[in-house]
């Protein structure tokens, strides 16, 4: 089984599954075609995530989730233009974005489960940490990180506001599956953890909570703001102003001082 085959199957699923549509919003499609990347389970960056300054000593390596692990398949689902554009106004989150955040996460789970099924049907083992009972968050630190996995799998780099900036932008959702299928690792076309972020500072001005500064994002302030949206928009919540109407919304922004080619 090759990564191209998995990409084709997931792309077809994204464009045909009713789970990727919202009947309440005129059949709005939440996600566009996915990006997939592969990390080797033995990549030397994984053990570094155990440093408390990166994630946490509770972080579980791929081989902790699956002792026979060979590869990690990371996927990024970019929001459709309709979802992204709807959230470009300042202030409250758009209804489309709220569905993308909540129903969208249900779809991320469906995509991960589909990957697991495809791998198992071909005789491989597979674990999807998102739905694994061993997944834990202790003091805001999870023992698995979709963003760091996607970084190692060549999908993109972390940004000032701690999103992942892929070649399809930052507005979207991430997931990953660990398997003993031995796939070639995707080349990382970057050297720095935040290389795709231009540090333009637009997301600082976009944030309604003041959670972002030139030093990064204050997760506690962001979480507190998301809680206020939860009370306002039961049963949904969300914000995403730092991922919309910003230069990294749908692609890698030009670096400051760079000229158009």
Binding site for ligand SF4 (CB under 6 A): 159-161, 197-203, 206-207, 209, 211-212, 217, 222, 225, 239-242, 246-248, 253
For ligand SF4, which is the closer residue by CB, 35 or 212?
Answer: 212
Closest CB to ligand SF4 among 184 and 210? 210
* Between 156 and 240, CB nearer to ligand SF4: 240
Nearest CB to ligand SF4, comparing residues 177 and 212:
212
> What does each C-alpha distance from 160 to 63, 163, 243 come to in angstroms?
30, 8, 11
We find the least distance from the C-beta atom of residue 47 to ligand SF4, in angstroms, to be 27
**For residues 161 and 250, which CB has a smaller minimum distance to ligand SF4 in the complex?**
161
Closest contact distance (angstroms) between CB of 206 and ligand SF4 is 6
CA dist., res. 70 & res. 200, Å (int) = 38
Least Å from the CB of residue 90 to ligand SF4 = 10
Query: Residue 217 CB, nearest distance to ligand SF4 (Å)?
Result: 5
Residue (154 or 253) nearer to ligand SF4, CB: 253
Q: Residue 104 Cβ, how far from ligand SF4 at the closest point, in Å?
A: 14
Closest separation in Å from C-beta 204 to ligand SF4: 7
Smallest CA-to-CA distance from 134 within 206, 59, 208, 185 is with: 59
């Amino acid at each position: 089984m090759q990564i191209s085959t998995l990409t084709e199957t997931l792309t077809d699923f994204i464009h045909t599954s009713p789970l990727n549509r919202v009947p309440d919003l005129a059949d709005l499609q939440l996600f566009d075609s996915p990006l997939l990347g592969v990390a080797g389970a033995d990549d030397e960056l994984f053990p570094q995530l155990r440093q408390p300054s990166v994630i946490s000593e509770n972080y579980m390596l791929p081989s902790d989730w699956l002792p026979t692990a060979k590869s990690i398949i990371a996927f990024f689902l970019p929001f459709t233009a309709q979802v992204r554009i709807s959230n470009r106004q300042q202030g409250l989150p758009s209804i489309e974005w709220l569905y993308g955040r909540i129903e969208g996460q249900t779809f991320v789970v469906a995509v991960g489960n589909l990957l697991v099924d495809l791998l198992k049907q071909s005789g491989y083992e597979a674990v999807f940490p998102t739905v694994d009972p061993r997944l834990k968050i202790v003091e805001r630190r999870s023992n698995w990180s979709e963003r760091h996995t996607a970084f190692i799998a060549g999908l993109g780099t972390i940004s000032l506001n701690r999103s992942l900036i892929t070649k399809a932008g930052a507005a979207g959702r991430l997931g990953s599956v660990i398997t003993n299928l031995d796939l070639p690792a995707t080349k990382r076309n970057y050297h720095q953890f935040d290389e795709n972020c231009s540090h333009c500072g637009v997301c600082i001005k976009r944030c309604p909570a003041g959670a972002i500064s030139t030093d990064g994002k204050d997760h506690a302030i962001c979480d507190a703001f998301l809680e206020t949206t939860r009370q306002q928009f039961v049963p949904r919540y969300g914000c995403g102003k730092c991922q919309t109407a910003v230069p990294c919304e749908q692609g890698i922004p030009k670096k400051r001082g760079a000229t158009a080619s």
